[in-house]
Amino acid sequence: MKTTAAVLRQMECPRPYAQSRPMAIEELELPAPAPDEVLVEVKGAGLCHSDLSVINGSRPRPMPMVLGHEASGIVREVGAQVRGFKADDHVIFTFIPGCGTCRFCQTGRPSLCEPGMLANTAGTLMNGARRFTGRGSQPYFHHCGVSGYSQYTLVMPGSLVKVDRHLPFEHATLFGCAVMTGAGAVMNTARVQPGQSVAVFGLGGVGLSAVLGARACGAWPLIAVDLLKHKLDLALELGATHTVNAGECDPVAAIKDLTRGGVEVAIESVGSAVVLAQAYHATQRGGTTIAIGLPDPKAQFSVPAVTLSAEEKTVRGSYQGSCVPGRDIPRFIELFRAGRLPVDRLLSRVITLEQINEGFDALAQGDVARQVIRF
């Protein structure tokens, strides 16, 4: 079958992307699903910094690639060996395909799935396949086992979570990355308790999701840190009790002043080693720093080694919010429905696939929290 997709052929195109057009709209071919695959019609796909980091070259991937890892859609066909999904199911994609059998999947840590990681790095599905083809039968690479910037995509069942069909796709999409990563880091990795002090560094879609998660957990004070006033204002609307503009003051000093010595939990969602160090220094003795952002692979993070023991400080990584997607996505959706996790407030605008390059300009400039392509 034919599908229209946004394809990245070359990384590191200059900005503005509206002029350099790194994402090309192409008509590709998809075969019928193999016995272990699922054909999904994509209905919504988010623009995230993880996609932008491939476009700008900070996270190199094989080319050409159909990007997009945060998405939702409707199952249209399943392979003969697939269990648990059927045609017309509404689904949310997860960007780490879980095999279900490796040591991490079996111990409740599917975000560290080894076969899933290897497939994502190689740009294939977990069965090793590349299903998109273009002119001359050229194979295209998959992004995170999802490739959501395509009207139709083929995925493995471990990349899907079935959800209620009444959830609007533009909202459902956000649960696949922003909410899992941000709220998950607060609830699963940090396990924030009512009354704990929390600071969130970086207020993109993921950081704002962390603010939502911390508010739902009863954090106080809840301090939002960014360089842009409109994002700080939105964080206040979403439940932050204080804001710090890191472009106008030293955020570490400001946080220590607000909290009489530092927060109990600091969450870094920028993907910057410098900001991660700031988050660490903004925690009190015995505090915990959670790293969500994905910095350049060459970046190094350095802290005074003595503080780890003498001050009992902790640094933890959080990937995909330390989530078990089949357990946590439905849980987050119920919190959304109860009004405790207003995920819809993260949606800055809905765009078309043809507006994708302009959308990535807006994301790179910090103009938006989350944009969703509506197919």
Q: How far is CA 42 from CA 147, 148, 154, in A?
A: 10, 7, 10
Domain-located, residue 172: no
Q: Two tokens at 192?
A: 């924030």
Same domain assignment for residues 301 and 261: yes
The pLDDT assigned to 90 comes to: 98
Cα dihedral across residues 152, 332, 203, 351: positive or negative: positive
Task: Give dist(CA 43, CA 151) in Å, integer.
Answer: 7
3-state secondary structure of 248: coil
Q: Using an 8 Å Cβ cutoff, are 50 and 271 in contact? A: no
Report the CATH number at residue 8: 3.90.180.10
Assess if residue 171 is contained within a domain: no
In this structure, are 124 and 6 located in the same domain?
yes
CA angle, residues 316, 320, 324, in degrees to nearest 5: 105
Tens-digit pLDDT profile for residues 213-259: 999 999 999 999 999 999 999 999 999 999 999 999 999 999 999 99
Does one domain contain both 159 and 254?
no
Per-residue pLDDT reduced to its tens digit, 199-213: 999 999 999 999 999
158 and 186 belong to one structural domain: no
| Together in a domain, 146 and 193 | no
- pLDDT of the residue at 165: 93
Range(s) of the domain holding residue 244: 181-319
Q: Are residues 105 and 202 in the same domain?
A: no
| pLDDT (0 to 100) of residue 316 | 98
Distance between alpha carbon 205 and the CA centroid of its chain, in Å?
Answer: 8
Asked whether residue 331 is domain-assigned, the answer is no
Do 269 and 306 lie in one domain? The reply is: yes
Q: Give the helix ranges, DSSP H, for 154-295.
A: 169-172, 178-184, 205-217, 229-237, 251-259, 273-281
Please choose, from the candidates 334, 369, 319, the residue with its C-alpha nearest in 3D space to the C-alpha of residue 208: 369
Residue 29, in any domain of the structure: yes
232-to-2, 82, 229 alpha-carbon distances in Å: 43, 45, 5
Does any domain span residue 349?
yes
Phi, psi of 186 (to 5 degrees): -70, -50
pLDDT along the chain (375 residues), means of 10: 97 98 98 98 97 95 98 98 98 97 96 97 98 94 98 98 96 98 98 98 98 98 98 98 98 98 98 97 98 92 95 97 98 98 97 98 96 97
Spatial CA neighbour of 184 closest among 302, 36, 328, 83: 328
Give Cα 219 distance to the centre of its chain: 22
Partners of 75 in the beta sheet?
40
Taking only the tens place, the pLDDT of each residue in 258-287 is 999 999 999 999 999 999 999 999 999 999
The CATH number that applies at residue 295 is: 3.40.50.720
Number of domains in the chain: 2
Q: Are 203 and 232 in contact (CB under 8 A)?
A: yes
What one-character-per-residue DSSP string does 13-35 give?
A: PPSPHHHH--EEEEEEE--PPPT
Residue 49 shares a structural domain with residue 80: yes
Whether 227 and 346 share a structural domain: no
162 and 192 together in one domain: no
pLDDT at 119: 98
What is the pLDDT at residue 317?
A: 97
CA angle 160, 164, 165 (to 5 degrees): 100
Asked whether the whole model's pTM tops 0.75, one would answer yes
CA–CA distance, 307 with 238 (Å, rounded to integer): 33
Are 185 and 160 in a shared domain? no
Q: What is the per-residue pLDDT for 296?
A: 87
In a domain, 335, yes or no: no
| Confidence (pLDDT) at 116 | 97
Residue 175 maps to a domain: no
Question: What's the rounded Cα separation, in Å, for the pair 336 and 306?
Answer: 42
Residues 6 and 147 in one domain: yes
Per DSSP, the residues of 142-179 read ESTTT--SBSEEEE-GGGEEEE-TTS-HHHHGGGGTHH
Residue 328 included in any domain: no
